[in-house]
Structure 1
Amino acid sequence: MRTLVTGGAGFIGSNLVDALLDAGHEVVILDDLSSGKEANLEQAMARGAILEIGDIRDGEHVTSVVAKHRPEWVFHLAAQMDVRVSLEQPALDARKNVEGTVNVLEAGRLHGVQRVVFSSTGGAIYGDTELIPTPETEPCLPMSAYGQSKFCAEQYLGLFHRLYGLSSIALRFGNVYGPRQDPHGEAGVIAIFCGKLKQGERPKIFGTGEQTRDYIYVGDLVQAIIAAAQSSETDPINLGTEEETSVLTLVRILTDLSGIGGDPEFAPARLGELDRSCLAVTRAGDALGWTPATAIAEGLEKTWASTPDP
C-alpha cells in the first residue's frame, strides 16, 4: 500500500510514518517543515520514506505530489494546531486548516485516492459541554478558531463523499503526548512541562491547574489511525482514553519522575481554555476494534525518558 502523510515530519506524523513503515507500507511525506523537523524522519528516510517539501495551502503543489506518487491512502495531519494562534490570527488558521484540507481532498479526488484519514480534534471541537465523557453525537460548539476550523474541514470531507464518493473519516483526537513532541511549542503541555523540568525550571500552569484533559499516548493513537484507514467508517470517531487528568496531576507525576521539587508557577487562565475535556471512546472500540493501551503514568514515564537534555 502506498500512503501519503501530510505533516509527516511533525510529532504525530513522524510516529505514524514509522508505524506505517513497520506495517510494510510505502510512505511519502508532505511537509513544509515550518514546525515539523527533518530530524524526525532520518530513520524513516533511511528505510525508504520519501519527503516532499511543500505547503498544503498551495493547491497546485499538493495536486502535483499526489499525481506524482499516486497514494492509495492519505493521512492528513498537516495543520495549524495552536489554539492561541488561532484566536490571534483566525484567517491564517482557516487558510491552513480549511483551505489546506480542501486542497488535499481535491487532489485525492482528481488522482484516485481510495481513503482520506483526517486529523480533527476532540479537545476543541465540542466546546464547553456538560456531557463528560463526550460522545460523537454531542453538538460541536467550539470555543476557539482552531476548533471551528477543524469542524469546518470535517464538513468538506462529507461534501466530497456526497459529491464524488471520496471515502474519508475524521478522527477527533484527545490531547496527544509522547516522544518527539516539541517542548518549545504551545500545543503539548506535557512536552512543555518535561522541557521545563529538564532545564531545572518550574512548570507554568495557566489557571488553577484543576482543568482536565483526555491525554492519549501517541503510540496508541497511531494504531487507531491505521485501523481507521483500513475500515469503511465515514462518521467522525473520538480517539482518547475516556479518563480525565488534571494539569496539577501531570505536574505531580512529572516532578516525581524527574526528582525535581518545587511548586509550579501560576498564571492567569487563557482565552478559550476549557475547564474539562474528556472523550467517550465506545464508538472507536465498536467501529475500529481499538482501545487505548497506555495508562497516563506509563505514558508519562516513556515521555520523560525520551525528552532530550537541554
Structure 2
Amino acid sequence: MKVLVTGGAGFIGSHIVDALIKENHTVTVVDNLSQGKLEQVHQEADFYQIDICSPELIKLIKKAAPEVIIHQAAQIKVNNSIEDPIFDARVNLIGTLNLLESAAQCGVRKITYASSAAVYGEPAYLAIDEDHPVNPISPYGVSKYAPEMYLKHYKNIHNLDYTVLRYANVYGPRQDASGEGGVVALFCDRLIQGETLTIHGDGEQTRDFIYVGDVASANLATLTKGDGSIYNVGCNRPTSINELTKILSHANHQSIKTKYTIPRPGDIKESYLNSIKAQRELDWKPQWSLHKGLAETLGSYRKDNRHLRVKVS
C-alpha cells in the first residue's frame, strides 16, 4: 500500500515509517524538519521537506498518490500553545485543514489522525474511555480536538475516511527531552549526565505511559480497520512518577538521585486511558511492558548521541 506520513522525521512518525517499511508498504515522508531529524527517516522512504501549511503539499500528494495518509505533524508543546496560540492553531488546525483539503482533491481514501488525551482535560472519571466528556484546558488540547470535527465533515461531504487515535503519554527512543509530555526522555537524559531528577509535587501524580512501538502498531492497524472511529491508545493502567523513577532505577542498575519541588500549576493529578475499544476493534494491544520499554529507551539514549540536552533551570 502507498502511505504518506506527515511528521515522519519526528519521534513517533519515524517509528511509524520504520514499521510500515518493515511490512513492505511504499512510504512517502513529509516533514519541515522544525522538530524532526533527517537522520531518523528510513532510507527506503521518499522524503520531502515541506510544511503541511504550504500550498506545495497538494502537489506532492498528487505526485505520491497515497491510499492512506498518517498525520503525525503537529505543534506538540502545551506551554508553547499557551504562549503563542496563533502559531499553535496555524500548525495543528490550519495545517490539518490544508492536508484534508489536499487529500480530498487528490482522491486519498483515508486519514489516520494523531490526536491526544489532552482533549479530555481534567478527568471526570478513570479510566478515561472514548465517551468521556471532551473539555480541553489548553490551546493545544483545543487545536488537537478541532480537526476531529473536520474529519467527520470531510467524511460526510468528500467521502474521505478517517480514524482518530488519542494518544496517552508516548515514550521511547528518539524522543527529545525538551518535548511536552517527555518526562521519560528528560529523566533518561539527566540520568546519563549523572544529574538529580526533579519531581514536581509529591510524585504520586499518575500518567499512562505507552511505548512508541505500540503506538506505531496501532497506526498500522488503522490501514484496514477502524474507519470513522475514535480510539484511545494507552496501556489501561496508571503509573505514578515515583513508580516510574523506581523502574528507571532498576533499568539503570543503580540508585537515582531525586529532589522534590512545588507542583506545576495546572498539572492534572491523575490520568490514564481505557483502550479496550482499540483492542477489540483494531485487534491491537500493547506488547511492551513499562519495565521492558524503559530499559530499551534508556539503552538507546546511552548509545545515541542525538538526544537533546536540556539546560537545568
Q: TM-score range by the shorter chain?
A: over 0.9
> Which residue is 2:243 aligned to?
249
> Which residue is 1:120 aligned to?
115
Q: Aligned partners of 2:282, 2:150: CA distance in 1, in Å?
A: 23
TM-score with structure 1 setting the length: 0.94
**Cα deviation digits, residues 176-205 of structure 1 (max 9, x gap):** 111111124333110110000001111222
Q: Aligned partners of 2:226, 2:185: CA distance in 1, in Å?
A: 34
Q: Aligned partners of 1:271, 1:56: CA distance in 2, in Å?
A: 32
How many percent of aligned residue pairs carry the same amino acid? 39
Q: Aligned partners of 1:232, 1:172: CA distance in 2, in Å?
A: 13
> Which residue is 1:25 aligned to?
25
Does the 8 A contact of 1:56 with 1:96 survive in 2? Answer: yes
Gaps of 5+ in 2: 306-313
Does the 8 A contact of 1:202 with 1:263 survive in 2? Answer: yes
Give the number of equivalent residue pairs. Answer: 304
Give how far 1:305 is off. 1.1
Gaps of 5+ in 1: none
Give how far 1:168 is off. 0.7
> Which residue is 1:93 aligned to?
88
Does the 8 A contact of 1:144 with 1:272 survive in 2? Answer: no
> Which residue is 1:84 aligned to?
79
> Which residue is 2:100 aligned to?
105
> Which residue is 2:49 aligned to?
53
Runs of 4+ in 1 over 4 A off after TM superposition: none
Partner SS for 2:115: strand
Which residue, out of 179, 188, 192, partners 2:186?
192
Counterpart of 1:53, as a letter, is Q
Which residue, out of 57, 61, 65, partners 1:70?
65
Question: How large is the RMSD of aligned CA atoms in angstroms?
Answer: 1.4
**Cα deviation digits, residues 147-172 of structure 1 (max 9, x gap):** 11111111111111111111011100
Q: Aligned partners of 1:276, 1:300: CA distance in 2, in Å?
A: 21
Counterpart of 2:262, as a letter, is P
Q: Aligned partners of 1:235, 1:267: CA distance in 2, in Å?
A: 41
The reply on whether 1:182 has 2:176 as its aligned counterpart is: yes
The structure-2 alpha-carbon separation of the partners of 1:95 and 1:268, relative to structure 1 and needing over 3 Å to count, comes to farther
Counterpart of 1:96, as a letter, is V
The structure-2 alpha-carbon separation of the partners of 1:291 and 1:111, relative to structure 1 and needing over 3 Å to count, comes to same
> Which residue is 2:311 aligned to?
none
Q: Aligned partners of 2:286, 2:224: CA distance in 1, in Å?
A: 18
Moved more, 129-138 or 228-237: 228-237
Q: Aligned partners of 1:193, 1:260: CA distance in 2, in Å?
A: 14
Counterpart of 1:50, as a letter, is D
> Which residue is 1:238 aligned to?
232
Counterpart of 2:34, as a letter, is S
> Which residue is 1:169 aligned to?
163
Counterpart of 2:7, as a letter, is G
